[in-house]
Amino acid sequence: MSHSLDEQVENICSGDRRAVARAISQVENGGPSSIPLLKTLFHKAGRAFVIGITGSPGAGKSTLVEKLATEYRRQNKRVGIVAVDPTSPFSGGAILGDRIRMQALANDDGAYIRSMATRGQLGGLAPAAYDATLILDAAGCDVVLIETVGVGQDEVEIARLADATVVMLVPGMGDDIQTFKAGIMEIADLFVINKADQPGAEQVKNEIKLMLSVAPRSADWQTPILKTVATTGEGVCGLVEAVESFRHFLESHPMGADRRRERARLHLLALLRQRLFERVARQQFDKQSIDRYVGDILERLRDPHSIVEEIMEASGFRSGSV
């Protein structure tokens, strides 16, 4: 069943769910065949608002994402969901039977759900998540929700793909809040305290307030701290309203343009890294040659830097310093 590129693009842009799913698989698998597709779709995209939702495992991200998506669907907006969280019901947590919860959205033609089960993938998750977002955007999604676990370099990079980043906390996190301080807190446009019906919600709120009071931030956007109970849907409408307020803020404030610029720059650099590597790896590497290089390293005959330099020279790199 082969489609011409034009036909494929047309199917995606008409919102055909199978075409969208197939395209995401294609970019996820990598390889040159997806590049003409991504080039073409780039010119069809650019309208979706991308919301990153991050938080530690057990914070209830998947449930909140589901409720957010349902609320946007109620407003008749097309919604894409990209879950790059290993604990997500869309990817790993399916063991728990949580996937069942998503059944309503799974049968909704205006909702696109995709897990990125790409742990271990060379090149990282961020480029794959970016490409999936581009496809969902071209498919007519008004909103794309990206769900990540808020620890680790990759997750911070993914958060940077978003127009708005929601950081979720829960009461009784204890020392865990320390983790967030180191890198995640800075990227929050909105805070959500989920499971806000549990004891300690107010304490978490005060801790966030304290942090915000000492952190250097934009004077023009007052980072809101919202409370939700994702399981019951409590506070979800308020969260959507707050996100929409932030969207309007971005439209008129230089921060919006700055952020789009930074996102484009990071993606360009990540893409360059990935494609350089793929090109050289394809030209120079077969299993035999890798085994030979690795054998030399293990016997300490040659160091890895010298081998890399040899590979780069053999790839036809213009020689230069370094």
Residues from 144 through 163 that contact a copy of itself (CB under 8 A): 149, 151-156
Residue 196, C-beta contacts closer than 8 angstroms, at least 6 positions apart: 171, 227, 228, 229, 234, 235
User: Among 261, 286, 288, 292, which residue interacts with a copy of itself (rule: CB under 8 A)?
Assistant: 261
Size of the site for a copy of itself (CB under 8 A): 79
* CA–CA separation, 116 and 149 (whole Å): 12
Near a copy of itself in 55-94, by CB under 8 A: 56-58, 86-87, 91-93
Residue 303, C-beta contacts closer than 8 angstroms, at least 6 positions apart: 297
Q: Which residue has the tokens 């590597």?
A: 277
E strand or H helix at 12: helix 5-13
* CA–CA separation, 216 and 222 (whole Å): 12
Q: Kindly state the smallest distance separating residue 123's Cβ from a copy of itself, in Å.
A: 8
Contact status, residue 155 vs residue 61, Cβ threshold 8 Å: no
Near a copy of itself in 178-197, by CB under 8 A: 178-179, 181-183
* CA–CA separation, 15 and 139 (whole Å): 5
Near a copy of itself in 13-42, by CB under 8 A: 32, 35, 38-39, 42
Q: Kindly state the smallest distance separating residue 286's Cβ from a copy of itself, in Å.
A: 13
282 is a site residue for a copy of itself (CB under 8 A): yes
283 is a site residue for a copy of itself (CB under 8 A): yes
Q: Kindly state the smallest distance separating residue 34's Cβ from a copy of itself, in Å.
A: 9
User: Among 6, 18, 95, 251, which residue interacts with a copy of itself (rule: CB under 8 A)?
Assistant: 95
